[in-house]
Structure 1
Amino acid sequence: MGIQVWFIVLGVGVMTLIVWDGKRRKLKQRALSAAGRPHKAPAVDSASISEHPFEAMSPPEEASAVTSPAIQCMPGGSRIGSATHILGKVIADEPVLIKGRLEGTLIAPNHPVSVTASGHVASYLEGNSVDIDGKMVGTLKANTKATLLSRARIQGIVEAPSLECMAGAWLQVDVAKKVNLHKIAMVS
């Protein structure tokens, strides 16, 4: 066979692979849209955290449909709804559920704080126990336990005596464990 025949065979093979890849991508997009999750193309450029904190995060595309326990609705406490965008400082003496966007500080040191899959938090978040299933950029401080569920996208610093991370969570963090130091004085 001549070189022209090899180029034709190679060209046909490459075109077949391109068509198969296009069909695979189309099926993947249909599966994601049927599951209620819109397909997003990966980010090309990365903005600085201070300018656009949530756009700076570009976690890898989800390879499989990993399901995790959803954040349970609490009977009482404060709720930041999905249509709410708060800029500033929130101090709560009750449980807090975040479904919307908070850019600033949230402090509830004696109560649980939960961020649902639609929730976005930037800057500082502190709670007794913290469950994250949404996006967080900044410092996360949990006084007893921090739980990162499968849809969590965290960038910044996590400080907690106990950290639980479910499969599928995406982290780009520094982890600090609070250490209780006991000073012993020796008297003679």
Structure 2
Amino acid sequence: MGIQVWFIVLGVGVMTLIVWDGKRRKLKQRSLSAASIAHHAPAAASAPIPDKPFEAISPPAAETSTVAPPDLGHIRGGSRIGSATHVLGKVIADEPVLIKGRLEGTLIAPNHPVSVTATGHVTSYIEGNSIDIDGQIVGTLKANTKATLLARARIVGVVEAPRLECMAGAWLQVDVAQKTSRQRIAMVS
């Protein structure tokens, strides 16, 4: 190989290292800023499990609208489950969590926000300080302060939250659990 080829290979290697270092620094800055904005809420006991299984009703097809989809990528730093990732088991996080992929099991982040994007699927149990759902949940959703169900949300199971916000288009087949009582609600909006 000629000397020009060696210089090209060396240049490409150096540029790759520069890009990787820039990404590393950016992630480090995000994690430091997220650590300085910590949310504190008391941890709560586990949510109740529904008494009767739900009938097999499939959600309506998602409508296409001219309204821009909500941005769930507002969580800086924290844990992210990518759209090509499938997690089986229990995840306990002491930082914000963004789910774009599939989680079959338990997610517990009682002091931090949790977001499930339109491509996200969670089966079993999800707990967070505030929870934004735009994807699919089958099981128990427990928000310690507020649960927000966005237009593409599809939920079957139990929702336990002191405040519940439901956008038009969300599909629910849930029991809404409060401190000591539970009301059965099946709603399509």
**Normalising by the residue count of structure 2, what TM-score does the alignment of the two structures yield?**
0.62
Quote the Cα distance in structure 2 between the aligned partners of 1:81 and 1:62.
22
Unaligned runs of 5+ in 2: 1-55, 181-189
Q: Is the 8 A contact 1:102 1:120 kept in 2?
A: yes
**Aligned match of 1:178:** 179
> How much has 1:70 moved relative to structure 2?
2.6
Letter in 2 for 1:176: A
| Per-residue Cα deviation, 1:79-108 (whole angstroms, up to 9, x for no partner) | 000000000000000000000000000000
Q: Which has the larger radius of gyration?
A: 1
Classify 1:58/1:152 alpha carbon distance in 2 versus 1 (closer, same or farther; 3 Å): same
> How much has 1:74 moved relative to structure 2?
1.7
1:93 aligned to 2:104? no
Runs of 4+ in structure 1 displaced over 3 angstroms? none
Unaligned runs of 5+ in 1: 1-55, 180-188
**Normalising by the residue count of structure 1, what TM-score does the alignment of the two structures yield?**
0.62
Question: Counterparts of 1:1-188 in structure 2 under 5 Å?
Answer: 58-63=58-63, 65=65, 67=67, 68-178=69-179
Higher relative contact order (CA 8 A, sep 6+): 2
Classify 1:64/1:81 alpha carbon distance in 2 versus 1 (closer, same or farther; 3 Å): closer
The residue matched to 2:124 in structure 1 has which SS?
A: strand
Quote the Cα distance in structure 2 between the aligned partners of 1:78 and 1:95.
6
Q: Is the 8 A contact 1:108 1:128 kept in 2?
A: yes
Q: Is the 8 A contact 1:66 1:167 kept in 2?
A: no
Identity of aligned residues (%): 77
* Paired positions, count: 124
| Per-residue Cα deviation, 1:54-98 (whole angstroms, up to 9, x for no partner) | xx6621124552635231332210000000000000000000000
Q: Is the 8 A contact 2:137 2:156 kept in 1?
A: yes
Quote the Cα distance in structure 2 between the aligned partners of 1:135 and 1:114.
11
